Structure 1
Amino acid sequence: MSRFIAGILGTLLLLGAGLLWWQGRAQDEKPVTGPPPPLEAVSTGLPDAGDIGDARGPAPPVPPEAPKLSREEVRFNRYDRDRDELISRNELMGSRTAAFRKLDTDGNNLLTFEEWAVATGERFKGADADRNGLLTRQEFATTAPKRKAKVRCRC
């Protein structure tokens, strides 16, 4: 048992001496003051970019910009699911068949962008009460679809 206690005391003594030595060395080192050395003076061991500049090859091509779509084209594309530039009755959804029939002026069950644009242009003209080509908030409010009155339960 005395050997065990002596071993523990010896270990603690060595740890204490190491800690004092470490603290003494930390106080001897002087902190670095002043501006940092210039980058040319610091050697990283890495090759200079000028040495391997030709090995990288040409810059990659710049991707083309997508054309900016008008608001009507975005709305049209929302319904044109198969992107064939035509909106079929199924694409416009079964619940909107009455609205589709109004927009399909030639009755071929296909809605072209021209038919769509004419109908929305007429809707704009109908809302523009003062005929200045601009919609005020009050004029825009008239373009909202009419809501059907909800049937209330008479239980």
Structure 2
Amino acid sequence: MWRYLVGGVGALALAGGGVLILGGRTPGDTVLAQAPAPATSSAMPEPLPERAPEATAKTREEKRFGRYDKDRDGRITRDEYLASRRKAYAKLDSNGDGRLSFDEWAAKTTTKFGSADRDRSGAMDAAEFATTAVKRKPARAKCPPGSPPQVSEES
């Protein structure tokens, strides 16, 4: 029972505080600050355009199509489609023999293991393994050109 009594007294105290803070003013009594006078300068600013510039209507899929269509003929040939894979394969084929061995395929992982295994024991402990975590870049907001960059709240 006493909880209800304390709750009621608290509600009345909040309502009374609100009346004291507002001081019995009505919305018409509120005085607004005057806007600062515009700065005068000798150079007149350019007038704003009638309409905002429109973004291109290219969809994500159209952009992806454009990246593959190297000769811009509106068609993607098999060679165009496989070009990115050929380039990635050529990067992995370090000796250029046209064959990909396991060591060539796993070269990046092998190098990463070698640099993480500080004591050269052939095994990583928890501290050594923690150094192999992928370093991710913080996400950035996509801002229109000319606006100041915004930093994400994750940083």
Structure 2 length as normaliser, TM-score?
Answer: 0.29
Looking at both structures, which has the greater relative contact order when contacts are Cα pairs under 8 Å and sequence separation is at least 6?
Answer: 1
Structure (1/2) with the larger helix percentage: 1
Structure 1 length as normaliser, TM-score?
Answer: 0.29
